[in-house]
Protein backbone atom coordinates (compact mmCIF):
# COMPACT_ATOMS: atom_id res chain seq x y z
CA UNK A 1 0.00 0.00 0.00
CA UNK A 2 1.05 3.60 -0.65
CA UNK A 3 -0.04 7.00 0.61
CA UNK A 4 -2.52 7.04 -2.29
CA UNK A 5 -4.49 4.21 -0.64
CA UNK A 6 -7.72 5.28 1.12
CA UNK A 7 -6.93 2.82 3.92
CA UNK A 8 -3.57 4.46 4.56
CA UNK A 9 -5.24 7.88 4.43
CA UNK A 10 -7.77 6.76 7.06
CA UNK A 11 -4.97 5.47 9.29
CA UNK A 12 -3.10 8.74 8.86
CA UNK A 13 -6.19 10.67 9.95
CA UNK A 14 -6.62 8.38 12.97
CA UNK A 15 -2.99 8.76 14.03
CA UNK A 16 -2.96 12.54 13.58
CA UNK A 17 -6.21 12.86 15.58
CA UNK A 18 -4.71 10.86 18.45
CA UNK A 19 -1.22 12.36 18.30
CA UNK A 20 -2.24 16.02 17.87
CA UNK A 21 -4.77 15.76 20.71
CA UNK A 22 -2.15 14.23 22.97
CA UNK A 23 0.49 16.79 21.99
CA UNK A 24 -1.85 19.69 22.80
CA UNK A 25 -2.87 18.15 26.13
CA UNK A 26 0.78 17.55 26.99
CA UNK A 27 1.76 21.14 26.19
CA UNK A 28 -1.13 22.47 28.25
CA UNK A 29 -0.44 20.14 31.20
CA UNK A 30 3.22 21.17 31.36
CA UNK A 31 2.47 24.88 31.03
CA UNK A 32 -0.31 24.58 33.61
CA UNK A 33 2.25 23.61 36.25
CA UNK A 34 4.24 26.80 35.73
CA UNK A 35 1.52 29.45 35.73
CA UNK A 36 -0.04 32.04 33.43
CA UNK A 37 3.21 33.24 31.85
CA UNK A 38 4.15 29.70 30.86
CA UNK A 39 0.74 29.22 29.25
CA UNK A 40 1.17 32.41 27.25
CA UNK A 41 4.64 31.38 26.16
CA UNK A 42 3.33 27.96 25.12
CA UNK A 43 0.98 29.71 22.71
CA UNK A 44 3.66 32.09 21.43
CA UNK A 45 6.28 29.38 20.95
CA UNK A 46 3.80 27.43 18.85
CA UNK A 47 2.95 30.35 16.57
CA UNK A 48 5.02 28.72 13.76
CA UNK A 49 2.31 26.06 13.51
CA UNK A 50 -0.26 28.80 12.86
CA UNK A 51 1.98 30.40 10.24
CA UNK A 52 2.88 27.10 8.58
CA UNK A 53 -0.77 26.10 8.59
CA UNK A 54 -1.79 29.29 6.83
CA UNK A 55 1.06 29.13 4.32
CA UNK A 56 0.46 25.43 3.65
CA UNK A 57 -3.25 25.98 3.14
CA UNK A 58 -2.74 28.81 0.64
CA UNK A 59 0.08 27.03 -1.15
CA UNK A 60 -2.00 23.89 -1.79
CA UNK A 61 -5.16 25.57 -3.07
CA UNK A 62 -4.04 25.03 -6.65
CA UNK A 63 -2.35 21.70 -5.99
CA UNK A 64 -4.75 18.81 -6.50
CA UNK A 65 -2.13 16.08 -6.21
CA UNK A 66 -2.07 13.44 -3.48
CA UNK A 67 0.74 15.33 -1.74
CA UNK A 68 -1.24 18.55 -2.01
CA UNK A 69 -4.25 16.93 -0.33
CA UNK A 70 -2.16 15.62 2.57
CA UNK A 71 -0.47 19.00 3.07
CA UNK A 72 -3.83 20.79 2.97
CA UNK A 73 -5.17 18.36 5.59
CA UNK A 74 -2.11 18.87 7.81
CA UNK A 75 -2.32 22.63 7.36
CA UNK A 76 -5.94 22.71 8.51
CA UNK A 77 -5.02 20.61 11.55
CA UNK A 78 -2.16 23.01 12.35
CA UNK A 79 -4.50 26.00 12.24
CA UNK A 80 -7.08 24.20 14.35
CA UNK A 81 -4.50 22.91 16.81
CA UNK A 82 -2.99 26.32 17.51
CA UNK A 83 -6.42 27.85 18.15
CA UNK A 84 -7.31 24.95 20.46
CA UNK A 85 -4.01 25.41 22.31
CA UNK A 86 -4.82 29.10 22.75
CA UNK A 87 -8.16 28.10 24.27
CA UNK A 88 -6.91 25.38 26.61
CA UNK A 89 -4.13 27.62 27.92
CA UNK A 90 -6.73 30.28 28.71
CA UNK A 91 -5.17 32.84 26.36
CA UNK A 92 -8.24 33.03 24.08
CA UNK A 93 -11.45 31.98 25.81
CA UNK A 94 -14.24 34.41 26.70
CA UNK A 95 -15.19 37.17 29.14
CA UNK A 96 -16.87 34.82 31.65
CA UNK A 97 -14.33 33.08 33.88
CA UNK A 98 -16.41 32.28 36.95
CA UNK A 99 -18.41 29.12 37.79
CA UNK A 100 -22.12 29.24 37.12
CA UNK A 101 -24.21 30.08 40.16
CA UNK A 102 -27.04 27.72 41.04
CA UNK A 103 -30.60 28.73 40.27
CA UNK A 104 -29.99 31.11 37.36
CA UNK A 105 -32.72 31.20 34.68
CA UNK A 106 -32.10 29.30 31.46
CA UNK A 107 -31.59 32.39 29.31
CA UNK A 108 -28.88 33.63 31.66
CA UNK A 109 -27.29 30.19 31.80
CA UNK A 110 -27.00 30.16 28.00
CA UNK A 111 -25.50 33.66 27.86
CA UNK A 112 -22.96 32.82 30.56
CA UNK A 113 -22.09 29.52 28.92
CA UNK A 114 -21.51 31.35 25.63
CA UNK A 115 -19.43 33.89 27.47
CA UNK A 116 -16.97 31.23 28.63
CA UNK A 117 -15.91 30.43 25.04
CA UNK A 118 -17.06 33.45 23.02
CA UNK A 119 -13.71 34.82 21.80
CA UNK A 120 -12.47 31.36 20.89
CA UNK A 121 -15.59 30.45 18.93
CA UNK A 122 -15.55 33.76 17.07
CA UNK A 123 -11.92 33.18 16.11
CA UNK A 124 -12.80 29.72 14.80
CA UNK A 125 -15.74 31.11 12.83
CA UNK A 126 -13.62 33.95 11.40
CA UNK A 127 -10.92 31.45 10.38
CA UNK A 128 -13.46 29.17 8.70
CA UNK A 129 -14.96 32.08 6.76
CA UNK A 130 -11.48 33.12 5.62
CA UNK A 131 -10.72 29.56 4.47
CA UNK A 132 -14.02 29.31 2.60
CA UNK A 133 -13.40 32.59 0.78
CA UNK A 134 -9.78 31.69 -0.01
CA UNK A 135 -10.67 28.24 -1.37
CA UNK A 136 -13.68 29.31 -3.46
CA UNK A 137 -13.48 27.68 -6.92
CA UNK A 138 -9.97 26.37 -6.16
CA UNK A 139 -8.95 22.84 -7.23
CA UNK A 140 -7.99 21.69 -3.72
CA UNK A 141 -10.64 22.44 -1.10
CA UNK A 142 -9.83 19.59 1.27
CA UNK A 143 -8.11 21.89 3.78
CA UNK A 144 -11.24 24.00 4.03
CA UNK A 145 -13.48 20.94 4.41
CA UNK A 146 -11.18 19.53 7.09
CA UNK A 147 -11.53 22.71 9.16
CA UNK A 148 -15.28 22.82 8.46
CA UNK A 149 -15.77 19.26 9.77
CA UNK A 150 -13.82 20.08 12.94
CA UNK A 151 -15.81 23.29 13.44
CA UNK A 152 -19.22 21.67 12.93
CA UNK A 153 -18.33 18.76 15.22
CA UNK A 154 -17.12 21.14 17.93
CA UNK A 155 -20.29 23.25 17.83
CA UNK A 156 -22.39 20.09 18.01
CA UNK A 157 -20.37 18.70 20.93
CA UNK A 158 -20.50 21.94 22.90
CA UNK A 159 -24.27 22.26 22.44
CA UNK A 160 -24.75 18.67 23.58
CA UNK A 161 -22.63 19.33 26.68
CA UNK A 162 -24.75 22.41 27.39
CA UNK A 163 -28.07 20.58 26.91
CA UNK A 164 -26.94 17.51 28.86
CA UNK A 165 -25.19 14.20 28.23
CA UNK A 166 -24.59 11.16 30.39
CA UNK A 167 -20.78 11.32 30.53
CA UNK A 168 -18.73 14.48 30.85
CA UNK A 169 -14.98 13.91 30.94
CA UNK A 170 -13.39 16.74 32.94
CA UNK A 171 -10.07 14.97 33.52
CA UNK A 172 -8.17 16.96 30.90
CA UNK A 173 -9.68 20.37 31.67
CA UNK A 174 -6.82 22.60 32.92
CA UNK A 175 -6.95 24.13 36.39
CA UNK A 176 -7.54 27.63 35.04
CA UNK A 177 -10.63 26.43 33.12
CA UNK A 178 -12.26 24.63 36.03
CA UNK A 179 -15.25 26.98 35.76
CA UNK A 180 -16.30 25.35 32.47
CA UNK A 181 -17.93 22.15 33.84
CA UNK A 182 -20.36 24.20 35.92
CA UNK A 183 -21.95 25.33 32.64
CA UNK A 184 -22.44 21.74 31.44
CA UNK A 185 -25.35 19.51 32.35
CA UNK A 186 -25.62 15.79 33.01
CA UNK A 187 -28.66 14.01 31.59
CA UNK A 188 -29.54 10.66 30.08
CA UNK A 189 -30.38 12.27 26.74
CA UNK A 190 -31.14 15.60 25.09
CA UNK A 191 -33.12 16.46 21.96
CA UNK A 192 -30.03 17.46 19.94
CA UNK A 193 -27.98 14.28 20.39
CA UNK A 194 -29.95 12.08 17.95
CA UNK A 195 -29.80 14.90 15.39
CA UNK A 196 -26.03 15.22 15.86
CA UNK A 197 -25.47 11.48 15.48
CA UNK A 198 -27.70 11.32 12.41
CA UNK A 199 -26.02 14.32 10.81
CA UNK A 200 -22.50 13.03 11.39
CA UNK A 201 -23.44 9.53 10.20
CA UNK A 202 -24.98 10.97 7.03
CA UNK A 203 -21.87 13.06 6.43
CA UNK A 204 -19.63 10.00 6.76
CA UNK A 205 -21.84 8.20 4.23
CA UNK A 206 -21.57 11.15 1.84
CA UNK A 207 -17.76 11.19 2.06
CA UNK A 208 -17.66 7.42 1.48
CA UNK A 209 -19.92 7.78 -1.54
CA UNK A 210 -17.53 10.42 -2.91
CA UNK A 211 -14.66 7.93 -2.57
CA UNK A 212 -16.62 5.44 -4.66
CA UNK A 213 -17.29 8.04 -7.36
CA UNK A 214 -13.89 9.75 -7.30
CA UNK A 215 -11.98 9.86 -10.58
CA UNK A 216 -8.53 10.69 -9.21
CA UNK A 217 -6.24 9.33 -6.51
CA UNK A 218 -6.09 12.76 -4.89
CA UNK A 219 -9.88 12.85 -4.49
CA UNK A 220 -9.90 9.31 -3.10
CA UNK A 221 -7.29 10.28 -0.49
CA UNK A 222 -9.04 13.55 0.35
CA UNK A 223 -12.45 11.98 0.89
CA UNK A 224 -10.89 9.11 2.84
CA UNK A 225 -9.27 11.65 5.18
CA UNK A 226 -12.59 13.47 5.61
CA UNK A 227 -14.47 10.18 6.13
CA UNK A 228 -12.09 9.11 8.89
CA UNK A 229 -12.09 12.52 10.55
CA UNK A 230 -15.89 12.71 10.55
CA UNK A 231 -16.14 9.15 11.84
CA UNK A 232 -13.83 10.10 14.71
CA UNK A 233 -16.06 13.10 15.48
CA UNK A 234 -19.01 10.70 15.52
CA UNK A 235 -17.11 8.42 17.90
CA UNK A 236 -16.35 11.35 20.20
CA UNK A 237 -20.07 12.10 20.37
CA UNK A 238 -20.81 8.50 21.36
CA UNK A 239 -18.17 8.80 24.09
CA UNK A 240 -20.47 11.37 25.74
CA UNK A 241 -23.21 8.82 26.32
CA UNK A 242 -21.42 5.46 26.54
CA UNK A 243 -19.42 4.33 29.62
CA UNK A 244 -16.17 3.89 27.69
CA UNK A 245 -12.80 4.92 29.20
CA UNK A 246 -11.75 7.11 26.25
CA UNK A 247 -9.48 9.15 28.54
CA UNK A 248 -7.07 6.19 28.63
CA UNK A 249 -6.09 7.01 25.04
CA UNK A 250 -4.02 9.97 26.31
CA UNK A 251 -3.73 9.60 30.10
CA UNK A 252 -0.64 7.38 29.88
CA UNK A 253 1.37 10.01 27.98
CA UNK A 254 0.62 12.95 30.29
CA UNK A 255 2.49 13.94 33.46
CA UNK A 256 0.48 13.40 36.62
CA UNK A 257 -1.13 16.31 38.42
CA UNK A 258 -3.10 16.70 41.65
CA UNK A 259 -6.80 16.03 41.24
CA UNK A 260 -8.55 19.36 40.55
CA UNK A 261 -11.50 20.59 42.52
CA UNK A 262 -14.19 19.90 39.96
CA UNK A 263 -17.18 22.18 39.76
CA UNK A 264 -20.57 20.63 40.42
CA UNK A 265 -22.46 19.92 37.23
CA UNK A 266 -26.11 20.97 36.99
CA UNK A 267 -28.36 18.01 36.26
CA UNK A 268 -31.72 17.71 34.57
CA UNK A 269 -32.11 14.01 35.30
CA UNK A 270 -30.57 11.62 37.75
CA UNK A 271 -28.03 9.27 36.26
- Give residues with Cβ within 8 angstroms of 117, minimum separation 6: 87, 93, 94, 158
Whether 183 has a pLDDT exceeding 90, the answer reads: yes
Whether 268 has a pLDDT exceeding 60, the answer reads: no
Of 151, 125, 138, 146, which Cα lies nearest the Cα of 72? 146
pTM, entire model: 0.93
pLDDT at 265: 55
The rounded mean pLDDT for the chain is 92
Whether 178 has a pLDDT exceeding 80, the answer reads: yes
Using CA atoms of 205, 210, 213, 217 in order, give the dihedral in degrees to the nearest 10.
-130
Higher pLDDT, 25 or 268: 25
d(CA 160, CA 246): 18
d(CA 48, CA 46): 5
d(CA 65, CA 18): 25
3-state secondary structure 205-221: HHHHHHHHHCCCHHHHH
Instruction: Assign 21 a pLDDT band (cuts: 50, 70, 90).
Output: very high
Instruction: Assign 256 a pLDDT band (cuts: 50, 70, 90).
Output: low
Distances 141 to 57, 65, 101 between C-alpha atoms, Å: 9, 12, 44
pLDDT at 169: 85
Angle between helices 217-239 and 142-163 (to 10 degrees): 10
pLDDT at 81: 97
Higher pLDDT, 1 or 161: 161
Q: For residues 8-42, b (16+ Cβ closer than 10 Å) or e, as one string?
A: ebbebbeebbeebbbebbebbbebbeeeeeebeeb
3-state SS class at 31: helix
Strand partners, 267: 186
Amino acid sequence: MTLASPWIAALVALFLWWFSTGAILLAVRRADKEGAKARLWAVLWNLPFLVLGGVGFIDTLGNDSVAGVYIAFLSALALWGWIELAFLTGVITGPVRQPLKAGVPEWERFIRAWGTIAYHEMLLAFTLIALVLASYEQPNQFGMWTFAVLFAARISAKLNLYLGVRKINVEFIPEHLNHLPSHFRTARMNWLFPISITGLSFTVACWLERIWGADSQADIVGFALLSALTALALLEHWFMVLPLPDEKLWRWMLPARPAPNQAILPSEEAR
